[in-house]
Amino acid sequence: MIPRSFEYSAPGTLNEAVSLLQKLGPDAKILSGGQSLIPMMKLRLASPPHIVDINRIPGLDYIKEEGGVLRIGALVRESDLEHSDLVRSRFPILFDTTSVIADPLVRNQATVCGNLAHGDPANDHPATMLALGASVVAIGPSGEREIPAEKFFPGLFTTALEPDEILKEIRIPIPPPSSGGSYIKLERKVGDFATAGVAVQITLDGSGNCSRAGIGLTNVGFTPIKATKAEASLQGKALDKSTIQQAAQLAASESQPADDIRGSADYKRDLVRVLTSRALERAVARAKGGK
Amino acid sequence: MATIKVKVNGVEHTSDVEPRLLLVHYIREVLRLTGTHIGCDTSHCGACTVIMDGRAVKSCTVFAIQADGRDVLTVEGLERDGKLHPLQEGFFQEHGLQCGYCTPGMLMTGAAFLESNSAPTEDEIRHAISGNLCRCTGYVNIVKAYQYAAQKMRKGGA
């Protein structure tokens, strides 16, 4: 399969890239890892007249903790995240997520920021970023702006990015002590999109009750879904079996799955219930110092 | 057309390419290195795996122009001075192939993997090859071939 012809630019700086986007408008598409874009171009589901390859821009492959925030640059590959000691030790939910995306070879190219910028509700990081209360930094002609993850996915394959903006960085607040998270995805086989996936991030207060809960759902709607009712139901509660079951039920009711080759809507809704319950149990165990 | 310079198996090539030319087509049709196979052509099967700047990637999902200035290793570059790479020897010794179609990809994934993990568990090996499909379902012997190579490389046989 051969994509349609396109013009190609490989700018050396972010400002150069933004100028190109400004000049080309919606004709341009950013190439980072390309593991979603190139297959779509080969299938001719996408035929951008101009590709702006940002891979030659230096200094965008950082994963660093700074001022209470974990910052992930635009060119961090999934496999960088997977092998980062910082991520493994401090953000097990991110490790959970990255290690179930596609397969190891795809993860060597695919970028974390691209996983968000693609706007695909079947992608895994969006749910995790919703659970973590992350935000993204967009750079455009008038400078940078920060967009919370919950405002970043307005519709199917649509993000809050303007055509002349680039997703430069993901910012994740460092969770306070006694926090834990987990991401659980059911897939038919390695490399498949999720039949459903659930991301959970919680913080416990001094008496062991839940002081913050974030829950994100993958591939059970037109956008990644923040299960706000389920989150609210956990607030201030001891995370025992019945609280967890109630939240799981609410998360299921907040999902909007469709029948498709991966299962019926009813099946997926119930799967959200089961996965939410399991992810919460694991998150609680991790908040208490377990693995 | 754009001019690219790519080092493939240690040899520098300068070529004029269309931006839409995929790396796998560049390797097979321009450089005539046909050891790299095209399998599914949809980034699933891993038959087209090559190593670019030390990382195993699916060359059907990379444009040749992205390899400009980079170092690419294909299956033809595994053998050194007439001696098989320990992993090639492992596939031979352990009967790690039947039809052979997935083999170049399995070898390239493994060559990169064993560089970073010289004493893998069986589970780690199976995880590492999860993006390479063998439709003869010969995974048992492929895992054995990786183990053979890992042991040989640890003994300094590389």
Q: pLDDT per residue over A105-133, tens digit each?
A: 999 999 999 999 999 999 999 999 999 99
Nearest to B36 by CA among B7, B20, B56, B19: B56
> In Å, how far is B46's CA from the nearest CA of chain A?
8
Displacement of CA A38 from its chain's centroid (Å): 20
Mean pLDDT of A246-274: 98
In chain A, which residues fall in CATH 3.30.465.10? 63-173
Tens of pLDDT along A141-180?
999 999 999 999 999 999 999 999 999 999 999 999 999 9
On whether any CB of chain B is under 8 Å from the CB of A188, the answer is no
**Where residue B157 falls among pLDDT bands split at 50, 70, 90?**
low
Classify A7-53 by CATH class: alpha beta
Q: Which DSSP helix (H) or strand (E) runs through A210?
A: strand A210-218
Residues 6+ positions from A285 with CB-CB distance below 8 Å: A180, A291
List chain B residues with CB under 8 Å of A7. Answer: 19
Inter-chain residue contact A39 with B61, CB threshold 8 Å: yes
Q: Please report, rounded to a whole number, the percentage of residues in chain B having pLDDT higher than 70.
A: 99
Tens of pLDDT along A175-217?
999 999 999 999 999 999 999 999 999 999 999 999 999 999 9
* CB nearest A34 (choices: B18, B20, B62): B62
What are B's interface residues with A at a Cβ cutoff of 8 A?
Answer: 2, 18-20, 22, 25, 41-44, 46, 49, 55-58, 60-63, 65-66, 109, 127-128, 130-132
Q: What is the pLDDT of residue B24?
A: 98
Identify the architecture of domain A63-173 in CATH.
2-Layer Sandwich (3.30)
Q: What is the pTM of this model?
A: 0.96
What ipTM describes this predicted complex?
0.96
In chain A, which residues fall in CATH 3.30.43.10? 7-53
* CB nearest B44 (choices: A41, A55, A191): A191
Inter-chain residue contact B56 with A8, CB threshold 8 Å: no
Is the pLDDT at B158 greater than 90, yes or no? no
> In Å, how far is B20's CA from the nearest CA of chain A?
6
Nearest to A186 by CA among A243, A118, A249, A257: A257
**Where residue A282 falls among pLDDT bands split at 50, 70, 90?**
very high
Q: What is the pLDDT of residue B155?
A: 87
In chain A, which residues fall in CATH 3.30.390.50? 181-285
Would you call B25 helix, strand, or coil by DSSP? helix
Q: How far is CA B123 from CA A183, A215, B149, in A?
A: 21, 30, 16
- For A54, name the nearest residue in chain B, comparing CA atoms only: B66
Mean pLDDT of B117-125: 96
* CB nearest A3 (choices: B20, B46, B109): B20
Computed from CA positions of residues A113, A105, A91, A65, in that sequence, does the dihedral angle turn out positive or negative?
Answer: negative
Mean pLDDT of A22-35: 96
Which residues are registered as beta bridge partners of A137? A146, A169
Mean pLDDT of B74-88: 97
Considering chain A, what is the average pLDDT of its residues?
Answer: 97
Q: What is the pLDDT of residue A29?
A: 97
* CB nearest B57 (choices: A8, A105, A190): A105
Q: Please report, rounded to a whole number, the percentage of residues in chain A having pLDDT higher than 70.
A: 100
Tens of pLDDT along A39-82?
999 999 999 999 999 999 999 999 999 999 999 999 999 999 99
Would you call B68 helix, strand, or coil by DSSP? coil
On whether any CB of chain B is under 8 Å from the CB of A40, the answer is no
Q: What span, in angstroms and rounded, lies between the C-alpha atoms of A132 and A174? A: 9
Q: Please report, rounded to a whole number, the percentage of residues in chain B having pLDDT higher than 90.
A: 96
List chain B residues with CB under 8 Å of A43. Answer: 42
- Exposure string of A53-67, with b = 16+ CB inside 10 Å and e = fewer, is bbbbbeebeebeeee
On whether any CB of chain B is under 8 Å from the CB of A103, the answer is yes
State the first-to-last Cα distance of chain B, in angstroms, to the nearest integer.
40
Give the angle A258-A34-B106 at the CA atoms, nearest 5°: 95
Give the strand order in the sheet containing B55-58.
B11-17, B2-8, B71-73, B49-52, B55-58
Among the four given CATH numbers 3.40.640.10, 3.30.420.40, 3.30.390.50, 1.10.287.610, the one describing domain A181-285: 3.30.390.50
Would you call A112 helix, strand, or coil by DSSP? helix
Q: Which residue has the higher pLDDT, B125 or A1?
A: B125
**Where residue B111 falls among pLDDT bands split at 50, 70, 90?**
very high
Asked whether the beta carbons of B47 and B136 are under 8 A apart, the reply is no
Is the pLDDT at B137 greater than 90, yes or no? no
Written as one letter, the residue type at B101 is Y
Mean pLDDT of A266-289: 97
Domains and CATH numbers, chain B: 2-75 (3.10.20.30), 86-154 (1.10.150.120)
